[in-house]
Structure 1
Amino acid sequence: MPDRSAGQRRSAIEVSLSVDHGGSDGQDMGEMPATAQAAFARFVRHAVEAARDERGWPVAEVAARSGVSRSTVFRWLSGDWQHHPELPKVRTFCAVLDVPLGVALRALTPPPADAPQPSPPRTDPSVEAHIAAIRDRLADPRTSAADRQHIRATLQMLALAESRAG
């Protein structure tokens, strides 16, 4: 499958974690709470899954193309780190997968525990039903790879349209 340009592609991880809450200077930040480890592990898992689904890249290929060692990628996947991942490694990982660096940094810097949690947005039950149907279709083994790719491309296009509008 030919790669689309970075301007046309928005990975599933970017869609699911599209708000940027801040940055990092890449310095060793000391011990991190488990929530940051879990959030970054989730981010990496989604990014690796998107690379596999969209490009056919296994973890080894993601590691080779990003210059991040396989062992580091696996540590990130498992949340097995005690200090912030190095910014240059995170930057190249994101660049290779066309995921904005802000998405990774958001995962690394969860809001403080005492920060007020936003209330969940009100959604129309019919919209929730459509979203559930899309999830079911993507998870259904009878759905062809072409149909899955079409669904993902449509969702990415809608997410891009939303980000331009907002």
Structure 2
Amino acid sequence: MEETPAGWPLYIDRQLGQRGWEVKDLAAAAGLSQSVIFRWKKGYPPNIKNARAAAAALRVPLLELLAESGVITPEEAGAGVELHPSPTELSDDELIAEMARRVKRSSGSPE
């Protein structure tokens, strides 16, 4: 698996939460399977086709989504794209969730 920014799963969670959506809602709106979204929530990056569909469904700039996921750098995305959240901006619960995800991934637990 490619290394993705720690904020990628949190970005997906935040986008869902802002809309009151669940994984199934994003999957339906983007025409993707729920398993694709669940993989993102575990830290796996999207491919360009899936990122394009998700960005359209979420009504966010494609470059923002690609930069958040680590597929491209903020510099490649151009000025004005800033990765969120900075670790200093995370709540305790968000930090704990990220740490748990990483421990699970590093222990070889099944996806």
TM-score, structure 1 as length reference: 0.39
Partner AA of 1:38 in structure 2? A
Of all paired residues, the percent bearing the same amino acid is 29
Unmatched 5+ stretches in structure 1: 1-30, 112-166
Match of 2:29 in 1: 65
Match of 1:97 in 2: 58
Over 3 Å off, 4+ runs: none
1:39-58 to structure 2, matched below 5 A, reads 39-52=7-20, 57-58=21-22
Separation in structure 2 between the aligned mates of residue 62 and residue 85 of structure 1, nearest angstrom: 14
Separation in structure 1 between the aligned mates of residue 35 and residue 19 of structure 2, nearest angstrom: 18
Separation in structure 2 between the aligned mates of residue 108 and residue 60 of structure 1, nearest angstrom: 20
1:72-151 to structure 2, matched below 5 A, reads 72-79=36-43, 81=44, 84-109=45-70
Separation in structure 1 between the aligned mates of residue 40 and residue 24 of structure 2, nearest angstrom: 14
Unmatched 5+ stretches in structure 2: 75-111
Give the root-mean-square deviation of aligned CA atoms.
2.2
